[in-house]
Amino acid sequence: MEFFNSALGKNITFVRPAYFIISGFIGIPHVKYYYIFLCFLYIFSVLANTAVMAIICLDPNLRTPKYIIVFNLAFTDVFGNSALVPKVLDVFLFNHHLIPYNDCLTFLFFCYTCLSMQSLNLVALSYDRLIAIGYPLQYHVKITHRSMFCVIASFWLSIVTVVLIAAGLLTRLSFCQSVVIRSYFCDHGQLFRLACNDTSPTAIMAVLLLTLILWFPLVFIVCTYLYISYALSKVTTVQGRLKALKTCTAHLSLVAIYFIPILVTFMLQKNIHPNARIINLSLTSVFPPTLNPIIYVLQTQEIKESVRKLLKIRKKSGIKVKKVIIT
């Protein structure tokens, strides 16, 4: 972060508080029950997403380009929830509302990196469905292990770069008035609005972050499914259309769970009580990582078959052990 300050000159000084105060859930009635609920969601999310990653690793049939994205989605969900939920519980459940300046920027970096990666994973999955349905004969040529690794790596690199710049620009701001962040984590928008000097570069970066997290993925996915609808209209049989559409149900469910709550909250934010807005936004951060593994296990035939196969192998091995013990 010192690079951003040295580039401006050594004579420039910034007012940096020793700590910020995160006040998001303060004053919400019966909020301790919500913390218990968050704790339950976090534990389930970590266990379920870890199980999905284990299934993909154990079954050779799932080591395909598509499941590279699914594995990365599960990893991002575990990483993102682990970066957010334990810290939120520590802040509010144990009344550790003071967070040091550098810790706050670190908290911001990990939360925004994982939030951005979750949405870009949905972009990668929509691209996979676009090629599979729109160009089925070219699928194995265009969607390869190497191409998917390159896509995922480019997403991670671009996200880390953008979020690092956003966090670095915050170090140029002076906080000479309030240090109270009215959110449940070190929210970028809430932070730069507390500054008392020029925030224009940081505001531009906030727009870029919002575009990266929300608008680019949403527009890309909508355009993808418009083309998929066009491609399906050329399929002559109804059964063929339904079979192709069925391969998209898991992805469409993930898209709906991720984007609809965010869009509703943003559209109605002026008419929503601040406490309700904070609860809604916190749920949009925690719910998708919790529901993603359920959706993929229940709606994806390959994973269901893999689970059955792994359970059969375990059952057979258990029977063999019993026979050996008896003999």
pLDDT tens string 45-60: 999 999 999 999 988 8
pTM: 0.87
* Closest to 229 measured CA to CA, from 259, 260, 257, 252: 252
End-to-end alpha carbon distance in the chain:
68
pLDDT at position 317 is 56
Arithmetic mean of pLDDT, 144-154: 95
Measured distance CA(213)–CA(209) in Å, rounded: 6
Q: What is the pLDDT of residues 40-99, one digit of tens each?
A: 999 999 999 999 999 999 888 888 999 999 999 999 999 999 999 999 999 988 888 999
Nearest by Cα to 20 from 173, 168, 164 = 173
CA atoms of 154 and 49, how far apart (whole Å): 23
Q: In terms of Cα–Cα distance, which of 206, 320, 219, 311 is closest to 263?
A: 219
Other Cβ atoms within 10 Å of 283 Cβ, number: 17
Tokens 């003999």 belong to residue: 327
Domains by residue range for the chain, with CATH: 15-326 (1.20.1070.10)
In order of 148, 319, 323, the CA distances from 326 in angstroms are 50, 11, 5
